[in-house]
Structure 1
Amino acid sequence: MKVKYYLLAAAMCSLLSALLVSCKKNSADTSAMITSVPTISPTKLGLYEADSSIYKQLYIAVPKIGTQTVNQYLLFDTGSGGMVIDAHEVLPATMISTSGFNFTGDSTVVNGITITSQKSSISYGADNSTTETVYGNLAYAAITVGDHDGTITIKRVPFLLYYKGVDNSGKIEATGAFDIFGVDSEYDVVFSNGAYVSSPFSYFDPGTGLTRGFKMAALGTGNFSNAGNYVAGVLSVGLTDNDLTSAGFTMHTLSAYQNYGYPVIIPSSFTYGSKSVTAAYTVFDTGTEPYNYLEDPTATKNITLLPTGTSLSVLTGSNFNYGFTTTASDYLSYVEKTSYSGTDVSIVSLEYFLNNEYLLNYTGHQLGLKNN
């Protein structure tokens, strides 16, 4: 999701049995001792691929939060970090008001969800004129992710449990309008006690021999529907050595920012038509659709929708190149003047993910991009 302020699934886990052959006590012959190390495979999770007219969105199933079955479908978002969910979907209505939660003390536990007194907000939007904000509290719970072919459980995940979401004019948004499963390695929000909210996947232990992170297969174009088609195996949670070194990804080292973690913002340059912007930053974002947003400090207008047939390319600092051409219904792209938009971070929308792959390494703070 384009964040203005800088700011499911088949579970597979195969374990090979260990063969332990021991020799008798005091034997000098150690050649007979053979140990086979267990091998664990990445966990496969699916996504729901939905569209309406020119809009496409991805959703991931979260059937359980705390001890309560909730059967929620959250927007799968590579452009923000952390789970954000509406309290009206998981708490009794008597606990919620437009100004906060009704409890006393530092925290309370409801249905296995620990709700703290730590408050904050997160703002989303394409530019200064479209900002929408959620207000909530730091909460913790075990969550179950996935459905159909299997699930995974992630223990004690910090997230923002929000009691109110408003648009730029202050109008209260519909229940669940900002339910987001953000997998970016940034901290979407840092609370006054030092706690922060980041990707739920970053808290998942994938098993011995695997690195914390995930990779995402190219989505293709044939599975999107208005009802939302479940597509198995889109995500592989847990990265192998091969994923990190030999799978063809162009790797980008992410930089740390105080109070923001390791955002998936990478140095880049881009061209559109005959114009080039040589010093830029870019996010590849499943949560932004159907438009790309290119931030140009020297643009002649505040915001311009590029005409059909315009060629664009983004070149990252690690020499990954992504090129496309606008059509009447696909790869729609705005150019914004940075003084108008309030950000210098350009956004490549979900359409990148239709034909290309994506990888995020939480342990090594790396982002991988791969042309298919």
Structure 2
Amino acid sequence: MPKNRFRTCAAVTAISAFSAISMPAEAGDETPLILPLIKLEYPGKPKNIRMLYVTILSLGDRKINQPLLLDTGSSGMTIECQSVLPAELCSENGIKITESRELDGIIVTTQKVVMHYATYDEYGNVASARVTFGSPDASVSTDRRVSFVIRYKQVRRGTGEIVGGPLWPKGIFGISPIGGEGPNLMIKSPMDAVKVGAGLRKGYYLSPVGSKWKVCTNEDGNCPEVEALHIGIPNDMKKNFRMQKWKQANVRYNFPTLDACLSWGAEPVCRPTLYDTGNSTIMVPTETSKPYSSLEAGTQIVVKSEGQDDWNFKTTYKPEVEIVPGLEHNIVGIRYFEKNSLLVDLDSQEIGLRLGH
């Protein structure tokens, strides 16, 4: 860790007003940059909690080397306080600063924010920096400062319990292209600030990550990597996907949805549907008066998404498909990404799926 250079900023204006720093691009470079993702299954119970992580190498001039949960279902990045700041500044009661400061090119403000996720909230302070992520052999940086959240605690929404521990992600790398969170929706996907090579469209796609999972932890450093995150989109790549304009089914959603129906020999459940790397199961809604339930292993599922090919699969464990009271949309989780692909074109505001490649 570099020596701390933690100083007061005389004035910190709106984060979005920071000037851009241009990054050189190779002329005629039409090959996407492929970044590795960490692939892990959490040890312990419940089983089959499977996630993808991307490593944040640095923020500003400060080396970080911290894996964060890759999440296509949320916008914007959060990162644990102790991964970024000196430990004495971090507490569950807040970050111990009284005025905005700079640390190795990271602007840390006193502006507090709460980020909302499925069952819990993250509390933190707004910060900004250039972000470098990937691996030492294959990395990419934002071409300007981006806003993110340095979190100091996580709270389970239903109980108010402060949660955490070694198996909790040290933060979220949300790459949804829609909306944002925080003041004036300023916490947005870092992908929007990544400059791609000449001849490539701005955006990214995920190739299949494979169906074999290893029980491991980021702390032990024993998890496999898979080269699956492609930065920049060749024009001919889009021909392999079924592309359509992304939708924001509700103004409260900061993620794109496709209209889809999930069925398993009963009445289809048709809702706006999120394809979500940050969810380890598949979730479908039911009426709020009905209890939570899940489908048995071996159940044949058909996903019919508007404008897309049908996806058929068989559940391998219970509760791989959960039926959740009060949920407003379908969530297709990590199972989809094992053998299928997702593409997000930021230039044309399109999203596409590709089965079996």
TM-score range, shorter chain: 0.7 to 0.9
* CA offsets 1:278-328 (integer angstroms, 9 cap, x no match): 4x1111111111x2111134x873211112232222212223322222233
Residue type of the partner of 1:138?
Answer: V
* CA offsets 1:41-60 (integer angstroms, 9 cap, x no match): 21111111112442221111
May I ask how many residue pairs the two structures share in their alignment? 320
Q: Equivalences for 1:1-372 in 2 at 5 Å?
A: 15=26, 38-52=28-42, 53-105=47-99, 107-125=100-118, 131-154=119-142, 155-168=144-157, 169-174=159-164, 177-178=168-169, 179-191=171-183, 194-222=184-212, 224-226=214-216, 227-231=222-226, 233-244=227-238, 246-247=239-240, 249-256=241-248, 263-278=255-270, 280-289=271-280, 291-297=281-287, 301-328=290-317, 332-338=320-326, 343-372=327-356
Alpha-carbon distance, 1:208 to partner: 2.5
- Secondary structure, counterpart of 1:351 in structure 2: helix
* CA offsets 1:143-198 (integer angstroms, 9 cap, x no match): 2111142222213121111111122422322367341111111334130xx25112
Counterpart CA distance in 1 for 2:253 and 2:192 is 12
Alpha-carbon distance change, 261 to 110 in structure 1, aligned in 2, over 3 angstroms: farther
Structure 1: which 5+ runs fail to align? 1-12, 17-37, 126-130
Alpha-carbon distance, 1:132 to partner: 1.1
Alpha-carbon distance change, 259 to 274 in structure 1, aligned in 2, over 3 angstroms: closer
Alpha-carbon distance, 1:112 to partner: 1.6
- Secondary structure, counterpart of 2:177 in structure 1: coil
Native 8 Å contact 2:77 2:174 kept in 1? yes
- Secondary structure, counterpart of 1:64 in structure 2: strand
Percent of counterpart pairs with the same letter? 27
* CA offsets 1:40-90 (integer angstroms, 9 cap, x no match): 421111111112442221111112112211210111111111111011221
Superposed CA RMSD in Å reads: 2.5
Structure 2: which 5+ runs fail to align? 1-23, 217-221
Scaled by the length of structure 2, what TM-score is found?
0.82
Alpha-carbon distance change, 306 to 260 in structure 1, aligned in 2, over 3 angstroms: closer
Scaled by the length of structure 1, what TM-score is found?
0.79
Larger Rg: 1
Native 8 Å contact 1:185 1:261 kept in 2? no
Counterpart CA distance in 2 for 1:362 and 1:172 is 36
- Secondary structure, counterpart of 1:197 in structure 2: coil
